[in-house]
């Protein structure tokens, strides 16, 4: 029986979907460190994680049974995607399902910080009545600067405009501006224009440390700063200094360079205790609606890959959209993309009298993925010959 290991409190729908497909599912709370993960993955074919579990090359090299990995979140920087592909492990994530939840959190924090609700709330909890308009503003008419105009950034752009904000954005890739949003040619131009700066960049290594003292100094005096993207992209010591100096009027941070692995673990940050600062424990996508959608989406991708070989929206192997078929045997062959692989696969099948009913090939850089449907049982000699090819990375036969 195929086995799955689901970590980090995934939505129950993920387990039930896989169990309905006949997969034996083990659920564990919290993340695992490298050695714990290696031990836990013995005999496991599917792994489901969120952002706290790091799947390193060492883990993948020591998980010989692993076939597919699901990141039940947007980011995949916690996974060595290249090593996964090299080991024949397809990786899937949830690129869209928690977008709305992150956008709503960003909007709530923008309004709260601009109105200085954090300070008013703290004063009343301390028994102090502090009714004042000083430093409090409407968001209507103010300029929102979005750094990273992807799925989250674009949706935030549209909703912010509906609140009466002007929107400018900066992205290193060419992006279509939605609504009345204006593209800025440089990050500095955005920082000098925006009353609120919010980061929505991805986890690529090139973004590490992209926002520090220089960028905070470029921001307009009294501007608001948000980071709901990745903890390692911001120098939080520099943010602390900018807040204490009064240059940045408030901040909201949902992600940190080092985050506790389990609920209830101790947390510390240089941003604790600062005025008009909202700290949240990486909950941008943590709504029941988003987690249910993510659980459904990623578990379905994992199930479909196991049962049909479909790699649609995989982030590390060539993409092929495949459907369940009856009366045929399917051979999936992930390989190094060198000349002659397809011909060699077909020659092997022909040598053993195996008739091809249908075949699809996709490539992605130096990887290739060929799926062949045959109308008869695949003999062990065929499997042995295909597996023995120098270019073969992973071979599966689906009946």
Active site residues: 230, 259, 282
Angle between helical axes of 117-125 and 99-114 (0-180°, round to 10) = 70
Q: How far apart are alpha carbons 326 and 342 in whole angstroms? A: 24
For 108, the token pair is: 């709530």
Structural tokens at position 70: 């699901």
Assigned token pair, 257 = 């360079």
> What 3-state class would DSSP assign to 218?
helix
**Rounded CA gap, 151 and 99, in Å?**
7
Give the H or E element holding residue 239.
Answer: helix 236-244
Task: For residue 381, count other CB atoms closer than 10 A to its CB.
Answer: 11
Whether residue 75 contacts residue 284, with contact meaning beta carbons closer than 8 Å, is answered with no
* Dihedral sign (CA 268, 269, 271, 277): negative
Q: Which 8-state DSSP code applies to residue 273?
A: T
């Amino acid at each position: 029986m195929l086995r799955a290991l689901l970590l980090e409190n995934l939505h129950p729908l993920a387990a039930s979907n896989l169990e309905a497909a006949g997969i034996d599912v083990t659920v564990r709370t919290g993340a695992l460190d490298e050695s714990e993960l290696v031990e836990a993955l013995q005999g496991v074919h599917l792994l489901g994680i969120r952002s706290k579990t790091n799947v390193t090359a060492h883990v993948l090299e020591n998980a010989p049974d692993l076939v597919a990995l699901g990141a039940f979140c947007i980011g995949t920087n916690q996974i060595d995607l290249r090593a996964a592909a090299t080991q024949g492990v397809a990786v899937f994530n949830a690129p869209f399902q928690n977008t709305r939840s992150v956008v709503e959190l960003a909007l709530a924090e923008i309004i709260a910080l601009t109105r200085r609700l954090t300070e008013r709330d703290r004063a009343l909890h301390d028994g102090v009545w502090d009714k004042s308009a000083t430093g409090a503003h409407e968001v209507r008419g103010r300029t929102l600067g979005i750094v990273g105009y992807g799925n989250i950034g674009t949706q935030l752009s549209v909703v912010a405009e509906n609140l009466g904000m002007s929107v400018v954005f900066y992205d290193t890739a060419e992006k279509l501006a939605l609504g009345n949003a204006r593209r800025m040619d440089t990050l500095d131009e955005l920082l000098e224009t925006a009353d609120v700066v919010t980061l929505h960049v991805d986890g690529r290594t090139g973004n590490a440390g992209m926002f520090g003292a220089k960028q905070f100094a470029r921001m307009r005096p009294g501007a608001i700063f948000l980071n709901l993207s990745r903890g390692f992209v911001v120098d939080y010591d520099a943010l602390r200094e900018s807040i204490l100096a009064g240059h940045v009027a408030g901040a909201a941070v949902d992600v940190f360079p080092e985050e506790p692995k389990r609920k209830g673990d101790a947390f510390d940050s240089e941003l604790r205790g600062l005025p008009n600062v909202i700290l949240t424990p990486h909950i941008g996508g943590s709504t029941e609606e988003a987690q249910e959608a993510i659980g459904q989406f990623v578990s379905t991708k994992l199930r479909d890959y196991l049962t049909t070989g479909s790699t649609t929206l995989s982030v590390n192997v060539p993409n092929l959209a495949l459907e369940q078929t009856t009366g045929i045997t399917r051979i999936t062959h992930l390989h190094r993309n060198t000349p002659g692989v397809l011909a060699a696969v077909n020659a092997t099948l022909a040598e053993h009298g195996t008739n091809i009913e249908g075949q699809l090939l996709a490539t992605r850089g130096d990887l290739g993925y060929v799926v062949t449907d045959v109308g008869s049982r695949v003999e062990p000699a065929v499997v042995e010959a295909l597996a023995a090819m120098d270019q073969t990375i992973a071979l599966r036969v689906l009946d």
